[in-house]
Structure 1
């Protein structure tokens, strides 16, 4: 799936949704560098997830979900070779990707579940319910399968949305160093 400029529209939506949020600015303060890294990072994430998990998007790619199964091992958003590519792209900021990975891994549940690694909605349609409806459809699928779900909410606003969808806080927030934003680990048992 690509457009005239060669970029997957799903990756474009993820860049638009996350490219300037507090977490992105913490990882990569320079906007031009950040957007260049995010374009490649999200393209690699989508390719890897299509092999090992589920990339679910609306037909117009305005809402994109990246789900990774977690059975025995912690899920990875990237293949091993892609991880090195990401660190090379990040350059001197690579340490922040490593720090996030380590902190996230400490909180990640070990019991079987589906991990919502990313859900992005194009800013042009944020707040219209597009993402909530799309996420609700997938959560009903996991419910029918008796499967729990896990995510890290990247803002208090998204945390409130996930609480309404049946997620619960799971432990203390992940406190990113160097004035980084807090992330909120959240767990959703299967619903009846």
Structure 2
């Protein structure tokens, strides 16, 4: 097995990394159905998505989650004692980014949260690799890092994939498809997945 490049090695992400991470994630999610639904204007989509991901990192997941990065990718996780949904203050700040789509966003995340399992679990909120780094192991390295933490705690992992084409990627890492969830207001479909804890 070849050694992974140092740029693929996950490191803890901080709010100081927000500028780089938000740009990588905006490029990673440029064609994502849910992001295109939240940001329908192609002319302003990337700029708004950069602000969106920077806000999520600095205001929410950087405070209440576990954030990791590689050179060209990032992942935001929530442990069982964390907070999956943004607080009202963060939602208000996101509303300035989302504009007239703020209501749709709020309804969408609340609807998605209804599918979360009642059991203690780790939640993979965001995983994305800049297209310049896709196929180079960045996303896989970040996923393995988070899964190792969940496995060490003996806990399952839950996620919603907003792209059907990503389902086989997650299945490769032991996730099973629980079902599909359609977001309200004519929104896109999410693929709800769970991975049971695995012994080391």
SS in 1 for 2:114: helix
2:129 is aligned to 121
1:1-192 alignment, distance < 5 Å: 1=16, 8-47=19-58, 48-58=60-70, 60=71, 62-71=72-81, 75-76=84-85, 78-170=86-178, 172-177=179-184, 180-192=187-199
Q: Is the 8 A contact 1:20 1:31 kept in 2?
A: no
Mapped to 1, the partners of 2:134 and 2:157 lie a distance apart of 23
If the length of structure 2 is used for normalisation, what is the TM-score?
Answer: 0.82
Quick check: 1:65–1:120 contact (8 Å CA) kept in 2?
yes
**C-alpha deviation, 1:162, in angstroms:** 0.6
Structure 1 CA distance for aligned equivalents of residues 47 and 132 of structure 2: 21
Structure 1 length-normalised TM? 0.86
Task: Point out where structure 1 has 5 or more consecutive residues left out of the alignment.
Answer: none
- For residues 17 and 114 of structure 1, the distance between their equivalents in structure 2, rounded to whole angstroms, comes to 22
C-alpha separation in 2, matches of 1:24 and 1:49: 18
User: Contact 1:54/1:66 (CA < 8 Å) preserved in 2?
Assistant: yes
Aligned mates of 2:68, 2:83 — CA distance in 1? 21
Distance 1:33 1:109 in 2: 35
Distance 1:81 1:50, change over 3 A: same
2: CA distance, partners of 1:90 / 1:96: 9
Deviation at 1:35, TM superposition (A): 2.4
Q: Runs ≥4 in structure 1, deviation > 6 angstroms? A: none
Kindly indicate whether the alpha-carbon contact (under 8 Å) linking 1:74 and 1:105 is maintained by their aligned counterparts in 2. no
Q: Equivalents in 2 of 1:54, 1:74: separation in Å?
A: 11
The structural deviation recorded for 1:28 is 1.6
| Partners of 2:68 and 2:76 within 8 A in 1 | yes
> In the aligned structure 1, how far is the partner of 2:132 from the partner of 2:186?
29
RMSD of Structure 2 on Structure 1 (CA): 2.0
- The gaps in structure 2 that reach 5 residues or longer are 1-15
